[in-house]
């Protein structure tokens, strides 16, 4: 009896706390479940030894009454509920056929469901999104997606745009760079959160885009182990992807994989939902067109419209595509200026964050780069944004755009981009600095761009911030000395002692990158570099420890580093590499400073 009563209680709580639309669409199923549980309770009450209990008269009569009512219960679904559900189905069908719903009809439906403002609409959307996780079959999930589209559209049309308090928004919005991503969830190549983890022939897991770029560059080995790949098939790591998705949901981080083996994944499409999204995007963009005058930037209605676009752009790829197709980018660009930031900082944050969310879709990157003033506007926010959040999101936008190799080169040639990112990495709060460092690391993948980064002071910056953001800074130094030539090695000389600290005290990834950086510097820089490394107290013991407990690549780099130190100590003229010896001539020795070293 306790189990049945608990099931009834749970069902009632689900009906109270859950989605009103979902409950309406399942009204017969819910009524049938209540009826089954009631009959089970009736059966249990029939055999319940109530006569043997010492109950007072009133309590005894109550038990008999409950038993009678349970026995006589019937499945009843009210006529009003059926009619209301039919109205909802009809509206969704009209949306599917691209017929704009009548506002008065929407108002009546939402009023009868007691959804009467933006706040209750947001709560309903969140309840529906939670509901999706409880369903297994795709049809049910698809129907809920359609309901989400309907509620989102109605929220904008009936109740207008709304902007939550800044504190609430900051609490809700997170980017992967703002939280500590578990090591197992990071791609060993990009060091970023994996969106589409795949397993290669050696059994190692990488993000699909990163390992595909590695293979397309002509490599036939595993980046982590160095083993030759017996085949190039990439097998989706579904278990890990699901774990990452759950973690992202808990951290309130956007997580979406668009295609896996050519199939749509991690999101559901529904014709009605897609049409509703298009209608919502068009409605919001049309409202944005009313504010032609940039001096109107202090208008809170305008800020609310941009915020709604920001939220919509965060949801999925269909929304991002619909917003851009509606012509939103040129309209948003007008509000990236310094003047807007001075008069309405919240508007500037919402605009740059909307562009960031739009840039997640690969096709939108091109639209952003080709829109006149878009890139310059983002860079202006990066340099002169009114708030750290605006600057951080501008940096994150640049990071997103550098995912395309051609744009990486183009951005790297812009002095304002390089100087803005370096300045933010030096002076911003931790979250903003991580966004800037992530963008710089992406740009450092291109050899031509590395030269610009070295000229702009990226190496010095990485040495400066290594104590606070060790893993990111060491990864940047590794890329710089690898592709930046002798100039980068000479500048990085000041960071050798800090690299020694990372080698001794850093995370597994930081120690691996530090070892790789030092190996490259010793090979290119000659005896002066090796001597500075050897001067670090206990460095050989630290290297031995890394050889014993480090990652496969870390152990290999540590072994090479140890051989280099021992050859230098023996007075040999060559610096041993992994599998060969490099002979250093006088022309290959780097002239490095001997004073003012950074400890």
Cα–Cα distance measured from residue 417 to residue 533, given in angstroms and rounded to the nearest whole number: 33
Cα–Cα distance measured from residue 80 to residue 327, given in angstroms and rounded to the nearest whole number: 41
pLDDT digits (tens, 9 = 90+) for 384-424: 999 999 999 999 999 999 888 889 889 999 999 999 999 99
The token duo for 344 is 């309405």
Q: Among 77-86, 225-234, 265-274, 391-400, whose mean pLDDT is lowest?
A: 265-274
Cα–Cα distance measured from residue 192 to residue 186, given in angstroms and rounded to the nearest whole number: 5
DSSP for 181-227, written as a single string: --GGGB-TTT-SBPSSEEE-TTS-EEEHHHHHHHHHTT--B-TTT-P
Cα–Cα distance measured from residue 401 to residue 304, given in angstroms and rounded to the nearest whole number: 26
Is there a contact between 143 and 272 (Cβ–Cβ < 8 Å)?
Answer: no
Residue with tokens 């592709």: 483
275: pLDDT strictly greater than 80? yes
The token duo for 569 is 């100590």
500 versus 140: the higher-pLDDT residue is: 500
**Predicted pLDDT of residue 252:** 65
Centre a 10 Å sphere on the Cβ of residue 404 and count the other Cβ atoms it contains.
15
Q: Is 203 left (phi over 0), alpha (psi -120 to 50) or beta?
A: left
Average pLDDT over residues 507-512: 89
The token duo for 219 is 């490599």
Centre a 10 Å sphere on the Cβ of residue 343 and count the other Cβ atoms it contains.
16
Rounded to whole angstroms, what are the CA distances from 144 to 21, 277, 452? 9, 14, 50
599: pLDDT strictly greater than 90? no
352: pLDDT strictly greater than 90? yes
**Predicted pLDDT of residue 591:** 42
Centre a 10 Å sphere on the Cβ of residue 98 and count the other Cβ atoms it contains.
10
**Predicted pLDDT of residue 183:** 77
Burial of 33 (0-12, 13-18, 19+ CB in 10 A): middle
Exposure string of 246-277, with b = 16+ CB inside 10 Å and e = fewer, is: ebbeeeebbbbbeebeeeebbebebbbbbbbb
pLDDT digits (tens, 9 = 90+) for 327-348: 999 999 999 999 888 889 999 9
The token duo for 62 is 């109550």
The token duo for 76 is 């009843």
Average pLDDT over residues 448-469: 92
455 versus 180: the higher-pLDDT residue is: 455
Average pLDDT over residues 359-381: 93
240: pLDDT strictly greater than 70? yes
44 versus 474: the higher-pLDDT residue is: 474
Average pLDDT over residues 377-390: 94
Average pLDDT over residues 476-496: 92
**Mean pLDDT, all residues of the chain:** 84
Rounded to whole angstroms, what are the CA distances from 245 to 126, 237, 267? 17, 12, 12
pLDDT band of 264, cuts 50, 70, 90: very low
Strand-strand pairing, 574-576 and 581-583: antiparallel
575 versus 162: the higher-pLDDT residue is: 162
pLDDT digits (tens, 9 = 90+) for 6-64: 888 888 888 888 889 988 888 888 888 888 888 888 888 888 787 777 778 888 888 88
**pTM more than 0.85:** no
Cα–Cα distance measured from residue 317 to residue 310, given in angstroms and rounded to the nearest whole number: 13
pLDDT band of 501, cuts 50, 70, 90: very high
pLDDT band of 571, cuts 50, 70, 90: confident
243: pLDDT strictly greater than 80? yes
499: pLDDT strictly greater than 80? yes
Average pLDDT over residues 352-366: 92
12 versus 585: the higher-pLDDT residue is: 12
Q: Which residue intervals of the chain bear CATH 3.30.40.10?
A: 176-264
Q: Among 244-253, 259-268, 388-397, whose mean pLDDT is lowest?
A: 259-268
The CATH fold assigned to 176-264 is Herpes Virus-1 (3.30.40)
pLDDT digits (tens, 9 = 90+) for 515-544: 999 999 999 988 899 999 999 999 999 999
574: pLDDT strictly greater than 70? no
222: pLDDT strictly greater than 60? yes
589: pLDDT strictly greater than 50? no
């Amino acid at each position: 009896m306790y189990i049945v009563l608990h099931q009834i209680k749970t069902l009632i709580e689900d009906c109270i706390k859950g989605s009103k639309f979902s409950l309406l669409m399942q009204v017969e199923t819910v009524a049938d479940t209540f009826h089954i549980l009631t009959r089970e309770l009736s059966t249990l009450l029939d055999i319940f030894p109530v006569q043997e209990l010492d109950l007072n008269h009133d309590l005894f009569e109550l038990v008999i009454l409950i038993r009678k009512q349970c026995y006589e219960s019937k499945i009843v679904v009210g006529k009003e509920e059926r009619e209301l559900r039919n109205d909802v189905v009809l509206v969704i069908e009209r949306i599917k056929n691209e017929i704009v719903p009548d506002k008065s009809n929407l108002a009546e439906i939402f009023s009868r469901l007691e959804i009467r403002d933006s706040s209750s609409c947001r709560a309903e959307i969140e309840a529906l999104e939670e509901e999706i996780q409880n369903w297994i079959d795709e049809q049910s999930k698809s129907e809920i997606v359609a309901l989400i589209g309907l509620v989102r559209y109605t929220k904008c049309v009936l109740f207008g745009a709304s902007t939550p308090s800044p504190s609430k928004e900051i609490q809700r919005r997170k980017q992967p760079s703002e939280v500590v991503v578990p090591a197992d969830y990071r791609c060993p190549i990009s060091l970023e959160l994996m969106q589409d983890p795949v397993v290669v022939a050696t059994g190692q897991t990488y993000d699909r885009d990163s390992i595909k770029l590695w293979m397309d560059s002509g490599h036939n080995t595993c980046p982590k182990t160095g083993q030759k790949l017996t085949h190039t098939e990439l097998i989706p790591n579904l278990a890990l992807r699901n774990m990452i998705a759950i973690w992202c949901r808990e951290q309130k981080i956007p997580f979406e994989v668009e295609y896996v083996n050519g199939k749509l994944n991690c999101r559901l499409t529904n014709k009605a939902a897609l049409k509703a999204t298009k209608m919502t995007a068009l409605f919001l963009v049309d409202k944005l067109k009313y504010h032609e005058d940039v001096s109107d930037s202090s208008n809170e209605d305008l800020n609310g419209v941009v915020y709604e676009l920001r939220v919509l752009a965060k949801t999925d790829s269909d929304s991002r595509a619909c917003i851009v197709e509606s012509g939103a980018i040129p309209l948003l660009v007008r509000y990236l200026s310094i003047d807007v930031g001075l008069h309405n900082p919240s508007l500037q944050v919402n605009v740059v964050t909307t562009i960031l969310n739009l840039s997640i879709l690969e096709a939108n990157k091109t639209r952003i780069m080709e829109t006149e003033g878009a890139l310059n506007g983002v860079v202006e926010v990066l340099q002169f944004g009114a708030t750290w959040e605006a600057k951080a999101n501008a940096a994150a936008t640049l990071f997103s755009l550098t995912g395309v190799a051609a744009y990486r080169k183009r951005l790297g040639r812009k002095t304002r981009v390089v100087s803005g990112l370096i300045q933010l990495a030096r002076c911003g709060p931790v979250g903003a600095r991580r966004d800037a460092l992530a963008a710089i690391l992406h740009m450092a993948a291109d050899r031509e761009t590395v030269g610009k980064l070295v000229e702009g002071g990226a190496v010095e910056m990485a040495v400066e911030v290594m104590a606070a953001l060790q893993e990111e800074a060491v990864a940047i130094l590794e890329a710089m000395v690898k592709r930046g030539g002798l100039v980068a090695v000479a500048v990085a000389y000041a960071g050798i002692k800090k690299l020694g600290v990372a080698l001794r005290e850093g995370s597994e990834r930081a120690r691996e990158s530090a070892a790789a950086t030092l190996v490259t510097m010793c090979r290119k820089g000659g005896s002066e570099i090796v001597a500075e490394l050897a001067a670090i107290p206990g460095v050989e013991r630290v290297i031995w420890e890394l050889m014993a407990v480090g990652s496969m690549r870390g152990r290999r780099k540590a072994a090479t580093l140890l051989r280099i130190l021992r050859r230098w100590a023996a007075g040999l003229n060559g610096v041993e590499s992994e599998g060969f010896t490099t002979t250093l001539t006088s022309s290959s020795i780097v002239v490095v400073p001997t004073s003012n070293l950074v400890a």
